A and B are shown apart, each in its own frame.
Chain A
């Protein structure tokens, strides 16, 4: 049981490039979400999903897209990377609506 896994661990992009951050969970959780952590800001919700085929926006969705085709996977796509998207990204999942389990994070730098 690997829990929540994220790839890659580190990534450097140039402004304007696109990429996909991968997130997978093997706990059969319905709820999955993406957060970003910036210095002095705590974690902020980007997008979330309550099940396959259902996604919605969080606090800071601009510049990001998500889709949920399976229960296990919830990728986060950056369409055109900007320096303001330099951050640490965490994926989380939960079965009930309260306790969420987080992945180890992806550290992204946009030059």
Chain B
């Protein structure tokens, strides 16, 4: 059963406008949320994260919002640039007994920024 869901497989946005990528999760034990960006033939690269004790984290053009009551998070990219075109994965983690945070990934959203 998919514990992290990204219901939009793709999104197209004009350059300079805002991109909003959404993610939902089902497990209330998740305590850390991350966004990864992936280009073809490369591994995912870390973009931004947020702890469950916060509701917003900002890093330059990227902002992640967390709504714990709705079990929903979103990634905002403003302004969007053609170089942002990639697949974006939402991921969540929880602390296992061994102390390792293992990641549960969504299925990804392919963002295309149109020049």
Interface residues of A (CB under 8 A from B): 4, 31, 33, 35, 40-45, 48, 50, 54, 56, 58, 90, 92, 97-105
Report how many residues on chain B are interfacial, defined by Cβ distance under 8 Å: 29
Q: Mark B28-47, 1 if CB is under 8 A from A, else 0.
A: 00001010100001111110
A100-B46, A102-B43 known; A41 vs B107 contact (CB < 8 Å) = yes
16 pairs across A/B with beta carbons < 8 Å?
A33-B100, A42-B2, A42-B4, A43-B44, A43-B103, A48-B100, A48-B102, A50-B100, A56-B98, A90-B43, A90-B44, A97-B93, A98-B34, A99-B46, A102-B36, A102-B45
- Taking A31-B100, A100-B103 as known contacts, 19 extra A-B pairs with beta carbons closer than 8 A to each other, sorted by chain A number, are A35-B103, A35-B105, A41-B107, A42-B2, A42-B6, A42-B89, A45-B102, A45-B103, A50-B98, A50-B99, A54-B98, A56-B96, A58-B102, A92-B43, A98-B101, A102-B36, A102-B45, A104-B41, A104-B42
A42-B89, A44-B105 known; A97 vs B43 contact (CB < 8 Å) = no
Complex CA gap A98/B33 in Å reads 9
Secondary structure of the B side of the interface?
strand
B107 touches A40 (CB 8 A): yes
User: Nearest Cβ distance between residue A54 and chain B, in whole angstroms?
Assistant: 7
**A-B CB proximity, top 7 nearest:** A102-B43, A42-B105, A97-B101, A43-B105, A42-B107, A50-B100, A102-B44
- Does residue B114 face the partner (Cβ distance < 8 Å to A)? no
Chain B residues with CB under 8 Å of A105's CB are 41-43
Complex CA gap A43/B90 in Å reads 10
Chain B residues with CB under 8 Å of A98's CB are 32, 34, 49, 93, 101
Contacting residue for A33 out of B43, B102, B104, CB 8 A? B102
